[in-house]
Structure 1
């Protein structure tokens, strides 16, 4: 991740000093810590994609950068009008969502702990604490929860994971996550099948050591796939 500090700005440009450098590639995310995005949560292009999903009977929509429950209600109302049985997963990945966490999860069918953008917007030491809180909140409401991003990041280029990554998967499982998800590891990594196998092996081994009484309370069912 690269870091820049804004030194000056005009109406259509900013001049920055590079704090932590690197190779800047196309289609990268931009996070401005402490600032809220003014773009709509669902764009016109998104609505076209949503209609495509309805027509093709997808199982889930994952909504990015959800700030409040309003966008969830808006999407669910649209799906109801289409008589579409599609579940809505909210991606918790911005500081704006934290004050509204309870209402956002209440409105949804499940949540994703999207740690990549959370780590860019929040102090890094807050991310594991927020992950635990999101999982606990979802389980108490009977909502499914996914832990995602940077799970096996080193396996994008290396055939074996770090010990810290293995522990990260195990912690997510022990905290009560319904699913752990890979992204770059399988999207453009060198060892996609191996990464999936590692994640499966660690998750199953960890689950085998957990007794029913150890798990956080869970009042619902995991993801419903039709």
Structure 2
């Protein structure tokens, strides 16, 4: 059923409850990866804004759902952008993580878990980041003052990208060396139905804008020590999970 530009799918066992609600894309397809504006607002209003911030304490990257949900509560475009900036400040891969983060972190710690179910914080996060991008982009961060140090980052997966963004914001010049032709590492192996690769690409583009960060793809580094001889002040090896785990 189409209702106010949203597809509403009713639970056949209980027609008075929604089974899911998805936003409509411009081409008429259903985007089930993010929330509709109605669903987003419902989740934002469910937040109790706990003083203890258990969701923040449970987040591995110390992202604060309390803060980004409070920022977006009114729902104005400027609020959405400010909320997304709050997310990306803690986690420059915030769009990706919102789509793939498991429910054992912030959702497990959510104060509403014992009442009417945890707030779907990862999906709220993914929705806010995507909405900000559709509104013209996430507000840029201040350009850090260069400190004169140059770092070589071996590996362009999540670990290398995250480390590069942190160092870039501290004023380091960072060169990322990736043996494959594209950045992203194992993020590129996650099925499209769970992680749209356009989200990966846009998060990476945002991350590379956070400082003097340059990507050198298709370059395999055999000996990290050679990079020190080329003038780099330090070398970080962040090759990550380069072989799949057999289940």
Task: Flag the structure with higher helix content.
Answer: 1
TM-score between the two structures when normalised by the length of structure 1: 0.33
* Relative contact order higher in (CA < 8 Å, ≥ 6 apart): 2
Q: Which has the larger radius of gyration?
A: 2
